[in-house]
Amino acid sequence: MEILNLWKLQLEQLLSEMAEQTKFTPHTVFVVGCSTSEIAGQRIGTAGALEVAEALFEPLHDFAKKHKLFLAFQGCEHINRALTIEREAADKFGYEPVSVLPAINAGGSMSTYAYEHLKDSVVVESVRANAGIDIGQTLIGMHLKPVAVPIRTSIDKIGDAVVTAATTRPKLIGGERAVYV
């Protein structure tokens, strides 16, 4: 239990530092990729653990609520990195639900736990998130808007999992005479 609390505290610190460095646009998507295996020091996809997912879900859910964000939990490669998200978000952004349910061995523990605990969960094939975190090199980049900007925090690992945080910005187009907002 002590180790789960440590991982939870690490995530809370990371999220707090992210919030200090970027302004989150309310009612946008925040993508989470999370390998509970990597957190526990195992190879990705080999030691999924719902208890790790449970410990990390609460700070993520609280963070999203505070910043009015929709969470999208990326599943593993066995479901083509499809995402668990609330139906409200899927409807708002026009994301079409797909016919798959995340499972510990095909979707991952975090996506499975999220499916069971988000309000009116659905799984969608892809999203275009404004920001996100990748815990354990799960490769969330495919679900971020095109211009990703890394956010550096004092937390570079949760457990043994490498953590990458990112936000996005609009594309700068138009050349040297363009005026940007």
* In-domain check, residue 62: yes
* In-domain check, residue 181: no
* In-domain check, residue 137: yes
Instruction: Please say if the pLDDT value at position 48 is more than 80.
Output: no
Question: What is the value of pTM for the model shown?
Answer: 0.94
Evaluate whether 95 touches 89 at the Cβ level (below 8 Å).
Answer: yes
- The total number of structural domains in the chain stands at 1
* 29-34 and 131-135 beta bridge pairing: parallel
* In-domain check, residue 12: yes
φ/ψ region of 13 (left if φ > 0, alpha if ψ in -120 to 50, else beta) reads alpha
* In-domain check, residue 175: no
CATH at 78: 3.40.50.10360
* In-domain check, residue 176: no
According to DSSP, the residues that pair with 84 across neighbouring strands are 73, 123
Summarize pLDDT for 65-119 with one digit per residue, the tens: 999 999 999 999 888 999 999 999 999 999 999 999 999 988 899 999 999 999 9
Summarize pLDDT for 13-33 with one digit per residue, the tens: 999 999 999 999 999 999 999
> In the structure, how many helices (H) and strands (E) does the chain have?
5, 8
Q: Identify the pLDDT of residue 142.
A: 95
Q: Which domain holds residue 88?
A: 2-17+26-168
What phi and psi, each to the nearest 5 degrees, are found at residue 95? -85, 125
